[in-house]
């Protein structure tokens, strides 16, 4: 049992080390007020659209924190992208993705794109 506890602490330490290396640079707003994480989400979601799909139009909101919102044409989905997290909502859907649950931004972006594509049903 003691060995399992030590292994758990090692895994948690490695996870936190990865988080502290990956997230801080990804959530620093640039001169336009967007984080690299937000730019990555926009780019990946745009790439996930079918070629003939209407483009996503992002609305910029927030005063203390800049966040982005888009309604997905042809669906009832709404996607929100925050400085360090995202949300996809629609009828029967409310998925919130937060940096505290992912050791690096790419994992969160991958999950966001997957949820987005699954519920948009292209």
Percent of the chain with pLDDT over 70: 98
Q: Where are the alpha helices (DSSP H) in the chain?
A: 2-26, 36-48, 105-120
Cβ burial 4-16 (10 Å sphere, 16+ → b, else e): eeeeeeeeeeeee
pLDDT in tens, 6-33: 776 677 788 888 898 999 999 999 999 9
Tell me: pLDDT of 87 over 80.
yes
What pLDDT does residue 9 have?
65
User: Is 101 exposed, middle or buried (CB count within 10 Å of its CB: 0-12, 13-18, 19+)?
Assistant: exposed
Between residues 65 and 15, the one the model is more confident about: 65
Residues with Cβ within 8 Å of residue 9, at least 6 apart in sequence: none
Reported pTM: 0.89
Rounded to an integer, the average pLDDT of 84-89 is 97
pLDDT of res. 15:
82
Q: Taking the CB of residue 105, how many other CB atoms lie within 10 A of it? A: 22
Mean pLDDT, residues 3-7:
75
Which pLDDT band, with edges at 50, 70 and 90, does 122 fall under? low
């Amino acid at each position: 049992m003691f060995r399992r506890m030590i292994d758990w602490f090692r895994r948690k330490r490695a996870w936190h080390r990865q988080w502290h290396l990956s997230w801080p640079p990804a959530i620093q707003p640039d001169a336009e007020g967007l984080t690299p994480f937000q730019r990555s989400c926009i780019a990946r979601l745009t790439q996930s659209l079918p070629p003939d799909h209407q483009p996503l139009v992002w609305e910029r909101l927030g005063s203390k924190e800049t966040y982005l919102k888009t309604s997905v044409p042809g669906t009832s989905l709404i996607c929100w992208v925050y400085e360090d997290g995202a949300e996809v909502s629609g009828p029967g859907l409310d998925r919130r993705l937060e940096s505290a649950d992912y050791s690096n931004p790419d994992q969160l972006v991958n999950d966001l794109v997957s949820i987005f594509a699954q519920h948009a049903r292209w």
